[in-house]
Amino acid sequence: MDILCVLILFPALCRAIEVRVPDLPVTGILDEDVILPCWFNPPADFSVQDLSLFWKLTSLQQVHAFTLGQEQLENQEQNFINRTQLFLSKLPEGNMSLVLRKVRLSDEGTYTCFVNVGNFSSAAVSLQVAASFTKPVLHLEPSEGLKPGDQVTVTCHTYRGYPEAEILWQDGKGQNLTENITTSQVANEEGLFHVQSSVHVILETSDTYTCLVYNPALQVVTHASLSVTGQHLAFPLVALWVTVGLCVCLLGLLVALGCVCRKHLKQTCEEEQEREEAAMQPLKASSAEGEDTSSLE
């Protein structure tokens, strides 16, 4: 601290000014404005003309500067030109917070606010950039001809989020699925992530599978569910018609067989009757001759 006092030409005893920033990182939404908070306790008889303040990124890139009662932006880093602003009317109160417009992924990092007003101090605040993921989209593979006991894959897609998501799968009872899960997260040319996660399950009669996408920076969960119900497990229409056709054919065959059997039985009965009648003819003839002989006597 003594070296810093010498560098900024303070011959008097150097006592640090209290500078306050948030303990937790500040979350900036991609393409929206964000405020990096920083406050100091103004000394008695404080004048903005005596104030020097600087905002710098981790690599000491100059983000914003204010000295001699006005903003000094000639040495501002190219990436921040026309994107930063102080609350000038609040400076007398010790508010040296910085507005950063249209947040970019490249803005992520640790920012340090330096203040010099009779004494010197600084504090650092972290900026976490975040972008919401799209609502997950689920699909089932295979999706047709399913029956209980089949192995299926349910896949979840979500896009254009930041930072990397945390993926959780649940079944219809709300129980977490932890096995047979594969997840990949790939950044596009903008640095935003496309997430694909799949769970491999043995299909039951009916169940629901839910994909939960958690953004740790926004602390937001988006989810989507896929229900596998009777319509996925229904008897295939083609098989149904084939079965009906076979039943009709079998019924027709049985009817035809019944007709043939009945005809054959009828024919057999007629033949048997004819044989019996033929056998009775000699008996009738003998009986008639006996009657004639009796008459002659």
Between 284 and 279, residue with greater pLDDT: 279
Q: Are 254 and 248 in contact (CB under 8 A)?
A: no
How far apart (Å, rounded) are the C-alpha atoms in residues 203 and 152?
Answer: 7
Domains of the chain, residue spans = 2-130, 137-233
Measured torsion, CA atoms of residues 139, 142, 147, 149, in degrees rounded to the nearest 10 = -90
Residue 5 per-residue DSSP state: H
Answer yes or no: CATH 3.10.580.10 is held by domain 2-130: no
Predicted confidence band of residue 1 (pLDDT cuts 50, 70, 90): very low
Q: Residue 8: pLDDT above 50? A: no
For residue 213 the two structure tokens come to 């996408």
Stronger pLDDT, 263 or 231, i.e. the higher one: 263
For 167, other C-beta atoms within 10 Å of its C-beta total 19
**pLDDT in the model for residue 277:** 64
- Is domain 137-233 given the CATH code 3.50.50.60 in the classification? no
Average pLDDT over residues 2-16: 43
CA distances from residue 72 to 52, 54, 57, 85, 253 in whole angstroms, order as listed: 10, 9, 16, 12, 101
Distance CA 60, CA 122 (A): 13
Task: Write the Ramachandran bin of 102: left for phi over 0, alpha for psi from -120 to 50, otherwise beta.
Answer: left
- Taking 50 as the threshold, does the pLDDT of residue 260 lie above it? yes
Bridge partners of 129? 28
Strand locations in 120-180, DSSP E?
120-130, 137-141, 151-161, 166-170, 176-177
Among 116, 228, 127, CA closest to 171: 228
Q: Is the pLDDT confidence value at 228 over 90?
A: no
Is residue 48 within 8 A of residue 33, CB to CB? The reply is: no
Q: Which of 21, 41, 207, 51 is nearest to 116 (CA)?
A: 51
137-233 and 2-130 share a CATH fold:
yes
The reply to whether the predicted model has a pTM over 0.85 is: no
Rounded CA separation 113/26 (Å): 14
Order of all β-strands in the sheet with 193-202:
137-141, 151-161, 193-202, 181-187
Indicate if the pLDDT at residue 153 is higher than 60.
yes
pLDDT at 46: 85
